[in-house]
């Protein structure tokens, strides 16, 4: 999760696509250079341990856009395939909407 946040912060769309599960991965990803990601708070996790193949991460990602401080709150599902964790989808986005991609 932290590496994906960092990829959003440095506009690394290739990394984001590479760590996105093929069943839900978009064909392309265009990130908004005006959206500046500033902080990631991990609020909770389920599973995701050494022997697990699935897990979730609830987080709040903070960003600045158009001079306003905003945040994205999401509970993300991840799956492990061939030893790599891949982002599957969001189970819930309680507040904050989705990032401008």
CATH for 41:
3.10.450.50
- The total number of structural domains that make up the chain: 1
Residue-level pLDDT at 101:
44
Instruction: Provide the residue range defining the domain that includes 75.
Output: 2-92
Secondary structure element (H or E) that encloses residue 16, with its range: helix 13-18
Indicate whether 101 belongs to any domain.
no
Indicate whether 100 belongs to any domain.
no
- Cα(62)–Cα(72) distance, integer angstroms: 6
Q: Convert the pLDDT of each residue in 39-72 to its tens digit.
A: 999 999 999 999 999 999 999 999 999 999 999 9
Secondary structure element (H or E) that encloses residue 14, with its range: helix 13-18
pTM equals 0.87
Indicate whether 99 belongs to any domain.
no
Indicate whether 58 belongs to any domain.
yes
Indicate whether 62 belongs to any domain.
yes
E-strand stretches of 1-101: 36-47, 54-65, 68-81, 84-92
Nearest to 92 by CA among 56, 65, 63, 61: 56
């Amino acid at each position: 999760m932290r590496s994906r946040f960092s990829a959003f912060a440095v506009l690394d769309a290739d990394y984001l696509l590479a760590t996105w599960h093929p069943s839900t991965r978009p064909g392309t990803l265009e990130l908004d250079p005006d959206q500046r990601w500033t902080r990631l708070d991990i609020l909770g996790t389920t599973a995701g341990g050494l022997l697990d193949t699935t897990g979730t991460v609830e987080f709040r990602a903070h960003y600045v856009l158009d001079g306003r401080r905003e945040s994205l709150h999401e509970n993300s599902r991840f799956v492990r395939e061939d030893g790599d964790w891949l982002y599957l989808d969001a189970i819930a986005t309680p507040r904050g909407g989705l990032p401008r991609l």
